[in-house]
Structure 1
């Protein structure tokens, strides 16, 4: 709304996509599998310590993600990039 200002300490507006739970290892694994199968990532492998090793292309460096939440964040970033790139191409 034009001219509308949020006051400090006022009610927070939540995103409709806000998570109410912590991502699980199973959820991260499912997303990683989809990203690799659709060739949006070259590899995504869980490490025994809960971290994830991901690689965007075969010759790209391996990145270390700090757990399931980081995998979900990466999936969201890839989805956003894919959607905005596709929309700009139309």
Structure 2
């Protein structure tokens, strides 16, 4: 393999680099619930509650106002934003 034909076998993408993945499926309620549970367990959100109409009520900290997210896709998008913020902040500290 010449050096211009692609990345070396030990190449690893920059974890702080831009996200290049795009979804090909719509997030499900189960996926959104799993992300909500992880975010609350790791104290990245204070609370996340699924209401019967499919919306999510989230609060970043106990004193913050409650945000209303419109469905599973919005919950998964919030998880992605929090994950991106956490990764970029961690890389700046190193």
The TM-score range, normalised by the shorter chain, is: 0.7 to 0.9
Q: TM-score, normalised by structure 2?
A: 0.78
Q: Using CA pairs under 8 Å that are at least 6 residues apart, name the structure with larger relative contact order, 1 or 2.
A: 2
| Partner in structure 2 of residue 68 of structure 1 | 72
Q: TM-score, normalised by structure 1?
A: 0.82
| Partner in structure 1 of residue 16 of structure 2 | none
Listed as ranges, the gaps of 5+ residues in structure 1 are: 1-14
Residue 17 of structure 1: how far off its partner (Å): 1.3
Which aligned runs of 4 or more in structure 1 are off by greater than 3 angstroms? none
Equivalences, count: 76
Listed as ranges, the gaps of 5+ residues in structure 2 are: 1-18
Q: Quick one: which of 14, 27, 43 aligns to 2:31?
A: 27
CA RMSD of aligned residues (A): 1.0
